[in-house]
Amino acid sequence: MAKLWTGRFSKETDQSLDVLNASLPFDCRLYRQDITGSIAHAKMLAKQAIISKEDGAAIVKGLQEILADIDDGKLVLQGAEDIHTFVEQELTKRIGDAGKRLHTARSRNDQVALDLRMYVKEEIKSIHDLVVQLIIALCERSQEHCYTVMPGYTHLQRAQPVTLAHVWMAYGNMLRRDCVRLNNTKALMDEMPLGSGALAATTYPIDRQYVCDQLGFAKITDNSMDGVSDRDYCMELASDCAILMMHLSRMCEELILWCSWEFRFVELDDAFSTGSSIMPQKKNPDVCELIRGKSGRVYGDLMTLLSMQKGLSLAYNKDMQEDKEALFDVIDTVEHSLQVLIPMFLTMKIHEENMEQAALGGFINATDCADYLTKKGVPFRDAYKCIGEMVAWCIEQGCALKDVPLVKLQQFHPLFEADVYEAIDLQTCIKERKVPGGPAPDAVKAQIEALKEFVRKEAAT
C-alpha cells in the first residue's frame, strides 16, 4: 500500500500493520467532508499566495471531479490507508504536481479533526430532525386521545386515571429536551480546527477565518493542541444519543407491554410486526425490542469513546482513530431506530375500549374518593383510611367503588351522599385534574399546543 510518508523509511510496512492501521474501510464515509474541507483549504492557500492561483484552481477542479466520481460510484474507495490519503493520491494521479501542494500548511491531524466536526454537525441536524418528526407524530395522535382514559401506573400497579394523550405528552416532553440537548451540543462544537496543523499550527500565513467562513462554522478553535486533540463533541453527541435511546427504549418497553394479551391496549400494524417460526398465533413487537436492545449498544459506544481518550497525553495519538466506528455506530443506530419507530407509532391501532376497561378495575379512583371526603372537611389521613377499608371490602365482594350502594357507603362514612358517584366517575376524575401539567383534556391540549409551538420554532431555526 502506497504511503504518504516516504524518505525516512527504508522498508515497506508489514502487511499485518497495514491491516491494523487502515481506517479507509470506515472513514470512507467522510469523503464528502474531506473533499469539501480540502477545497476550502486550497482556495485559502491560493488567496494567501502560498500556492499559485493556477495550482489552486487545478486542485479545486480536480477535487470537484473526484467528489462527483465518488458520488456516481465511478471511483471506488480502496487502496489507501485512510480517506485523506486516498483523496490526495487520487488528486495527484489526476493533476500531477499541483496535487502534491494541497497538503501545504496542513496535517492529517487537523484534517481529520475538521472532517469529523463537519460530519458530526450534519448528523446532529439529521438526528434532531428525526426526533422532531417523532414529537409531531406524538402530538398528532395525542389530539385524538385527550379523552381516552386509561390507568396510570406506578410500580406497574394501577394507580390513578390518566389519558393516552397525557402518557404520550410525557414522552413528547422527554423528546423535546433531547432536541435541546442536541442543539446545545451543536452550538458548543461549532468551531473550525483547520490550521492547528499537526499540533503546533503553522508558520505559513494562512487565513483560518476565511476557511471558517467558507465552511460555515461559527468560529475558529482557539488553541491548536486542543483543535487536534479533543473529541469531546463526539462524546457529547454519544451521550445525548444514549439519553435519547433510553427514552425510546422506555417508550418501546411500554408498547411491548401494551401489545401483550394481558394488556391489549395497542396492536402494531402487520408491516411492523414479526411472527414466530413455530407458534402460528404469534405477532411479536420485535421492532420495539430491537430498539430497547440497541440502546445498550449506544451506551457501549459512549463508553468506548470515553475510555479511548481518557489516558491520552496531548496532542494527537493514533488511539483517536478508534473514535470513528463507535461514533458512526451511535449515529446509525439512533437514526435507524427513529426511522422505524415513527411509522410504527403512526400506524399502530389503539384499543381504547381495553384501556377504559382496565381503568375501571384496580380502584384507580380511590384517591378521588378520599378527596371527596376531604373536601367535606374530613382530614385527608382519616379519609385515606376509610377508603382503604372500603377497597378491602370491595375486593372481598368482587366489586368496584362505584358499585357500592349509598347506604353501604354511609356505613363507612356518614358524609357520603348521592353526588359521590359523579365524583368518582373516571371522566370526572380526569376532568378535575386540571392543574397545569395534569391529565385533564384541557391541560393536555395545552401541552400539545406547547410542543407544537416548540416544533414550529425548531423548524424556523
Q: Other CB atoms closer than 10 Å to residue 293's CB: what's the count? A: 12
C-alpha closest to that of 405 among 392, 387, 418 = 418
Minimum Å gap between C-beta 226 and ligand ARG is: 16
Q: Please name the helix (run of DSSP H) or strand (run of DSSP E) that holds residue 182, with its range, or none.
A: helix 164-189
Is 295 catalytic? The answer is no
What pairing do the DSSP bridges indicate for beta strands 157-163 and 149-154?
A: antiparallel
d(CA 413, CA 387): 9
Q: Which grid coordinates are listed for 81?
A: 490507508
C-alpha closest to that of 325 among 73, 28, 3, 54 = 28
Q: Is residue 229 part of the contact set for ligand ARG (CB under 6 A)?
A: no
Q: Is residue 228 part of the contact set for ligand ARG (CB under 6 A)?
A: no
d(CA 21, CA 15): 10
Is 155 catalytic? The answer is yes
Q: Which of residues 2-31 bind ligand ARG (CB under 6 A)?
A: 23, 27
In the complex with ligand ARG, the residue whose CB is nearer, 228 or 334, is 228
Q: Is residue 354 part of the contact set for ligand ARG (CB under 6 A)?
A: no
Q: Is residue 304 part of the contact set for ligand ARG (CB under 6 A)?
A: no
Q: Is residue 321 part of the contact set for ligand ARG (CB under 6 A)?
A: yes
Q: Is residue 316 part of the contact set for ligand ARG (CB under 6 A)?
A: yes
d(CA 18, CA 3): 10
Q: Is residue 444 part of the contact set for ligand ARG (CB under 6 A)?
A: no
DSSP state of 271: G
Q: Is residue 329 part of the contact set for ligand ARG (CB under 6 A)?
A: no
What pairing do the DSSP bridges indicate for beta strands 219-220 and 266-267?
A: unpaired
Minimum Å gap between C-beta 82 and ligand ARG is: 4
Please pick, among 10, 155, 277, 313, the residue that the annotation labels catalytic. Answer: 155
- In order of 19, 26, 60, 261, 289, the CA distances from 264 in angstroms are 52, 44, 61, 5, 17
Task: State the helix-helix crossing angle for 232-259 and 108-143, rounded to 10 degrees.
Answer: 30
Q: Other CB atoms closer than 10 Å to residue 394's CB: what's the count? A: 18
Minimum Å gap between C-beta 197 and ligand ARG is: 11
Minimum Å gap between C-beta 196 and ligand ARG is: 12
**Contact region with ligand ARG (CB under 6 A), list: 45-53, 123-131, 281-289, 318-326:** 318-326
Q: Is residue 320 part of the contact set for ligand ARG (CB under 6 A)?
A: yes
In the complex with ligand ARG, the residue whose CB is nearer, 274 or 321, is 321
d(CA 339, CA 287): 11
The answer to whether the beta carbons of residues 302 and 243 sit under 8 Å apart is no
Contact pattern from residue 83 through residue 122 relative to ligand ARG, giving x for each residue in contact according to CB under 6 A and a dash for the rest: -------------------------xx--x----------
Minimum Å gap between C-beta 316 and ligand ARG is: 6
**Contact region with ligand ARG (CB under 6 A), list: 129-137, 202-210, 255-263, 313-321:** 313-321
**Contact region with ligand ARG (CB under 6 A), list: 131-139, 316-324, 378-386, 402-410:** 316-324
C-alpha closest to that of 373 among 415, 418, 425 = 415
d(CA 159, CA 138): 23
In the complex with ligand ARG, the residue whose CB is nearer, 161 or 197, is 197
Please pick, among 276, 277, 336, 337, the residue that the annotation labels catalytic. Answer: 276
Residues that bind ligand ARG (CB under 6 A): 23, 27, 82, 108-109, 112, 316, 318, 320-321
Residues with catalytic function = 155, 276
